[in-house]
Structure 1
Amino acid sequence: MTARTTITRLPPGGDPAPGRVAPRARGRRPTFVTMALGLPVAFMAIVYAYPVGKMLMKSVTEPKAGFGNFTEAATDSTIWDVLWVTVRLSLEVAVLTVVLGFPVAYFLARTSARKARFLSLLVVIPFWTSILVRSFAWIVLLGDNGLVTKVLDPLTGDSQGLLYSESAVVIAMTHILLPFPILIIKGTLDQIDASLPRAARSLGAGPVRAFVQVYLPLAVPAIVSSGMLVFVIGLGFYVTPALVGGPKQSTIAVVIAQNVQVNFDWGMAATLATMLLVLATALTLVVRRLTKVKGLVSL
């Protein structure tokens, strides 16, 4: 006896058979990952966009509406001198941190994983100390009776300290910002195949040539990115130049603080902050175009 199977077909638009539930179309609900990433991003966008928007508005509305603040700033030679000092200090610190940070990052990338973790912790530990505390420490070290002065005295014959000079500002800022290039460059060097220089040497290249022509070009994006990061951070540095620098080392951030705290000129302070923001953005875009390094700004 053969069992017969009966197939019941529903007409178009018909209801399913009794006792069977049609699957529901799933709505596009945000996932946990989307919520976990979206909320912080939205929060940061709000707390960043509102202050920047208020700053831009104050630059053209106080003390009266118009572009008078920008005209005054553009015709003031003192502001241009301060802007040049800011750019020069930031550039010197960026170059110095990259030059000092690359060998450390190279050593961390080539040492054992256990030792690299321990040494990386030593690099990160300075972040746990306030910038204000570290700047005060350099006041003690670079003063007339400081440790640095006593060490350099036999070599230079000058007992006067380096405090309140451009050298003091560069040294202190380099010490504070040095961990950034180390960590950024190390992250890139960890991804470079260590067998590439060995392969170049097996083909006849010397150790220097293999490093310069094979290994170093792969690290250039990290070098440029870390240098630009330090440069942009240095443009807005306030505490360290104000403490260890003199009048000739006044940065644009120091002038902004003076306009707010001493002159109560919020319009000019907002104007200088806007100029600094435009300068940092423009220089970042120019370097990105010239070096073709991606990751700093997405366009």
Structure 2
Amino acid sequence: MSHAPNTTQFSALSTQAIRTADTPGGTPKKPKAGGGGRQLLLVLLPALIVLAVFYFYPMLTVLVAAFTDPQPGLQNFEWFFSQAVNLQVLGRTLSISFWVMIICVLLAFPFAFFMTVVKPNTRNMLMLIVLVPFWTSMVVRTFAWVVLLQDSGPIGQFMKLFGVEQLGVMRTPTAVLIGMAQVLLPFVVLPIYATMSKIDTRLLTAARSLGARPAKAFVSVYLPLTLPGVASGALLCFVMALGFYITPAMLGSSREAFLSTLIQGQVQGLAQWGYGAVIGFVLLVVTMLILGITSYIGKKTGSSVQDMVGGSKA
């Protein structure tokens, strides 16, 4: 029996011999340890400098002011948690942001699903509808809602045909919900569509062929696979809604004030930088807690979805 090396082994031996011959001393050089890390650091250095100057330094300034202005100590925190109006504004901010998130998810899910089943030309048109709001200023869009929702606006005039004399939407939580949902809806549609576009629709056909009804197949097979996109869009919407200022200020009243409005009042209206800093710090802590909790839940949900997908593939 012949023991000659095959073509693959011969090619590998030849390549190794060439590398050894090209290297002084007959042994190949090893890459220097840490070289890749230095190159990566040089690439990331401009971004780190920008973050340090425009993000970490202002955050550190706010944190220091929360504990030192006007006097060192915890007086600012005691003021925030001892004032009932501050806690009410915090609860209102969380509540309205939550309902905006729910509205956006309920509207974005069917829209994103429709984008996955239509023809490419129609899909491109729908994508354009989603992207157009990004090219328009938020102030302009909010002013448009002010015109539309006031009693003498187009919607109010149309409702008079049905006997409704006053629309009564402006300066209410309903107007704030409408304006915020319209601004944040594209941020929910895009993650959900990105997830749905990767789902193999043949899974629904397979489920129906095994006896599952269309609704059962959708809920049991398709819906769990969309949860990562839904969770990403919902979390992005909720976190962005927490810091809204223009829309609640223009469409709502003082009874619909957000924490951002409270910060503006303390800093610009009363020149209380310490109070404004502690409100911003509380908002940051609440946001980080929400991100941490949702990240933990997302890992658990993601692992269960992966197990289900792996079981279906098996």
State the TM-score, normalizing by the size of structure 2.
0.81
Once the two structures are superposed, residues 179-229 of structure 1 have per-residue CA deviations (whole angstroms, 9 ceiling, x without a partner) of 011001000001111111111011111111111111001111211221111
What residue ranges of structure 1 are gaps of 5+ in the alignment? Answer: 1-19, 295-299
1:276 aligns with 2:283: yes
Does structure 1 retain, via aligned residues, the 8 Å contact 2:115–2:193? yes
Structure 1 SS opposite 2:147: helix
1:50 aligns with 2:53: no
| CA drift at 1:146 | 1.1
- The correspondence for 1:201, drawn from 208, 214, 218, is 208
Q: Where do 1:165-184 residues align within 5 Å? A: 165-184=172-191
Does structure 2 retain, via aligned residues, the 8 Å contact 1:59–1:267? yes
How far apart, in 2, do the equivalents of 1:258 and 1:81 lie?
A: 16
| CA drift at 1:43 | 2.4
Structure 1 SS opposite 2:266: helix
1:237 aligns with 2:244: yes
Distance 1:293 1:34, change over 3 A: farther
| CA drift at 1:71 | 0.5
Structure 1 SS opposite 2:224: helix
The letter of the residue matching 2:239 is: V
1:247 aligns with 2:258: no
Distance 1:256 1:162, change over 3 A: same
Higher helix share: 2
Q: Where do 1:106-117 residues align within 5 Å? A: 106-117=113-124
How far apart, in 1, do the equivalents of 2:184 and 2:163 lie?
A: 28
Alignment-derived partner of residue 148 in structure 1: 155
Does structure 2 retain, via aligned residues, the 8 Å contact 1:163–1:244? yes
Structure 2 SS opposite 1:240: helix
1:188 aligns with 2:231: no
1:267 aligns with 2:274: yes
Q: How many residues align?
A: 277
Alignment-derived partner of residue 235 in structure 2: 228
Alignment-derived partner of residue 127 in structure 2: 120
- The correspondence for 2:144, drawn from 137, 149, 162, is 137
**Is 219-228 or 91-100 further displaced after alignment?**
219-228
Distance 1:149 1:35, change over 3 A: farther
Distance 1:238 1:115, change over 3 A: same
Alignment-derived partner of residue 12 in structure 2: none
Once the two structures are superposed, residues 55-107 of structure 1 have per-residue CA deviations (whole angstroms, 9 ceiling, x without a partner) of 11110010011110000101000001111111111011000001001111111
The letter of the residue matching 1:287 is: T
The letter of the residue matching 2:249 is: A
Alpha carbon RMSD of aligned pairs, Å? 2.4
The letter of the residue matching 2:63 is: L
The letter of the residue matching 1:210 is: A
Does structure 2 retain, via aligned residues, the 8 Å contact 1:149–1:162? no
How far apart, in 2, do the equivalents of 1:40 and 1:190 lie?
A: 32
The letter of the residue matching 1:88 is: S
State the TM-score, normalizing by the size of structure 1.
0.85
Does structure 2 retain, via aligned residues, the 8 Å contact 1:225–1:293? no
How far apart, in 2, do the equivalents of 1:57 and 1:156 lie?
A: 57
| CA drift at 1:237 | 0.2
How far apart, in 2, do the equivalents of 1:276 and 1:63 lie?
A: 20
Once the two structures are superposed, residues 4-55 of structure 1 have per-residue CA deviations (whole angstroms, 9 ceiling, x without a partner) of xxxxxxxxxxxxxxxx956876552569887555533552354211111111
The letter of the residue matching 1:128 is: W
How far apart, in 2, do the equivalents of 1:110 and 1:44 lie?
A: 41
| CA drift at 1:283 | 1.8
Distance 1:154 1:289, change over 3 A: farther
Does structure 1 retain, via aligned residues, the 8 Å contact 2:149–2:167? no
